[in-house]
Amino acid sequence: MSGDIRLRVKDLRVKLPETGEEILKGVSLELRAGQIFALVGESGSGKSVTSLAVMRLLPEALAITGGAVQVGEQDLFDLSESSMQNVRGRRVAMIFQNAMTALNPVQSVGQQVAETLRLHTRLRGDALRQRVVQLFAEVGIPDPEGRFSFFPHQMSGGQQQRVMIAMALACEPDILIADEPTTALDVTIQKQVLGLVRDLTVSRQLAVLLITHDMGVVRHTADEVAVMYRGEIIERAPVDDFFHSPQQAYSKRLIDALPDLSHFQSMATETPLLQLEDVKVYFPIRKGVLQRVVDYTRAVNGVSLSIGRGETYALVGESGSGKSTLGRAILNLEPLSGGRIRFQGEDIGGLARRQMLPYRKRIQVIFQNPYSSMNPRLSVGEIIAEGMVSLGLGLSLEERNERIGQLLDRVQLRREYGSRYPHEFSGGQLQRVAIARALAVDPELIICDEPTSALDVSIRAEVLDLLQELQREFGVSYLFITHDLSIVPSLAHHVGVMQAGVLVEQGSAEQILTAPTHPYTQALLASVPRVDG
């Protein structure tokens, strides 16, 4: 708290010129050297807008109408764009919330990090490459030398986020703005990355603005906390004081919305809806001019599990462990290399596209990344209606519109949002749209691939309550793929732990989370940040 002030934000105001609505209403804060300042609040509260305004990266739809952002004695709003480009990356770096949209899809990840270093340092050739490999190793990317030539789509969501962190740290900036930097990371890598940021904050006297909705991360990482609500900072305090005695009712609500880690679901006894028997998904590794297959990546290697009707099965493990690949295999989006997938006793593992169509209504999915899973040219209402039309629910236009309105109500979004487009929503709001879309066709099984990773704690609690309410009401089953172990106790009946494509342990949620037997499960649980310390 005693370090020099690196960044001052004074009375920052941002509005929508078209409507005159004020998005930021006089935001002021200070970042000090050697300090991590956490900015928390629900999606839409203005956290990310604050960070984009500081970096002068606001979209054209928003306008800065007042205030100042000072780095040292220099007001960034007085700089030309070319001068500002020299500030970004070198003096002030940013880790963006959505790695997949921030990374260039046609350039290798190593080249993208190298480009940052080439712009701001004198490193070239082998020295440049070695520095990138070193950064990849520091942020926990496996096989950093080999991953240099990977493209973003070849890496898991967590690995993409680690590339973004490596890029931000590359030029050793004075100020780091981290917008949800650990959203896509599993708990062990999250612990490593936050530990790295914490160490760099102290060793380099870095000033960090940490934007997050994970209160466990705040508790273990931040020095000071500020709470945003509708474009204003309503409370600011040292981290210990904040968690011991929050002053605002809204702050108390954020803390109270955290999952109850002592409550477990009673075991379901229904007959199996989905059964996996020794499921394998292998991807060929090709080398040489003729691209001959020299080996296989065993993404899923002999997984067997069963999900009953009205039951939630949580699949946990680190990014790259094969969780999402298994989900895609169930949906017949990845071909099986071996084993069987049975849905209500019917083998659906090798069905042709047309044969699979009847099961598309019965098995739905909520993807991890809502930005890349939605057509940007369709309105939210059209996105939700898409499944109802293509899968032939037989609803009239009026019935369909009423159904869309009801679904938006259920996921805590206004009905008028149906006419808006995906780019007009925050990450958390867009994930709620994805949940509404999955619910639209009344499925029997929903594969939830990190459906709450982009949600703040209060909305996450509401969405999880909604999923459980739908389960009780309609008997829907969930395969819940997640790296957030804190939500598992109150949600899941069974838990399976995946490591390197293998299911290393499975059992009831209470058994796995209170008395794990496998060392990998024990390591995962030990890495979960808890608000109670």
Distance CA 38, CA 456 (A): 14
- In DSSP terms, 312 is beta-bridged to 478
Q: What is the DSSP string of 95-122?
A: E-S-HHHHS-TTS-HHHHHHHHHHHHS-
pTM of the model: 0.73
Question: In 10 A of CB 292, how many CB atoms?
Answer: 10
pLDDT at 393: 80
Instruction: Tell me which residue has tokens 């808006």.
Output: 420
- Is 5-91+175-256 a domain of CATH 3.40.50.150? no
- Please, what are the averages of pLDDT over each run of 10 residues along the chain (533 residues)? 83 91 94 94 86 91 92 92 89 83 92 92 93 90 92 84 88 89 74 82 90 85 94 95 92 77 69 93 90 90 94 89 92 93 91 88 86 90 91 86 91 90 83 88 91 72 81 89 84 93 93 91 83 61
pLDDT at 456: 67
pLDDT at 73: 86
pLDDT at 195: 83
Tell me if residue 94 falls in helix, strand or coil: strand
Q: Return the H-helix or E-strand segment holding 275.
A: strand 272-287
Distance CA 348, CA 240 (A): 53
Query: What is the spatial order of strands in the sheet that 175-179 belongs to?
Result: 92-95, 175-179, 207-211, 35-40, 224-229, 232-238
Q: Are 487 and 464 in contact (CB under 8 A)?
A: yes
Residue 147 is classified by DSSP as H
Domain ranges of the chain: 5-91+175-256, 107-172, 272-373+445-526
Distance CA 78, CA 483 (A): 43
CA 191 vs. chain centroid, Å, equals 15
Angle value at C-alpha 142, between 120 and 367, nearest 5 degrees:
95
Tell me if residue 292 falls in helix, strand or coil: strand
Handedness of CA 66, 71, 74, 78 (dihedral sign): negative
- One-letter amino acid identity for 44? G
Q: Can you list the pairs that 112-119 forms with residues at least 24 positions away whose Cβ atoms lie under 8 Å?
A: 112/163, 112/167, 113/163, 113/166, 113/167, 113/170, 116/89, 116/167, 116/170, 116/171, 117/170, 117/171, 119/89
Q: Return the H-helix or E-strand segment holding 447.
A: strand 445-449
Q: Are 101 and 153 in contact (CB under 8 A)?
A: no
CA 104 vs. chain centroid, Å, equals 19
Q: Are 95 and 177 in contact (CB under 8 A)?
A: yes
Distance CA 31, CA 37 (A): 7
- One-letter amino acid identity for 88? R
- In DSSP terms, 236 is beta-bridged to 226
Q: What is the DSSP string of 165-199?
A: HHHHHTT--SEEEEESTTTT--HHHHHHHHHHHHH
Query: What is the spatial order of strands in the sheet that 74-75 belongs to?
Result: 22-32, 5-15, 63-71, 74-75
pLDDT at 220: 86
pLDDT at 1: 46
As its CATH architecture, domain 272-373+445-526 has: 3-Layer(aba) Sandwich (3.40)
Residue whose C-alpha is closest to residue 511's, from 479, 487, 489:
489
207-211 and 22-32 beta bridge pairing: unpaired
Instruction: Tell me which residue has tokens 């099986």.
Output: 336
Q: Are 193 and 166 in contact (CB under 8 A)?
A: no
CA end-to-end distance (rounded Å), the chain: 21
Would you say the CATH fold of 272-373+445-526 matches that of 5-91+175-256? yes
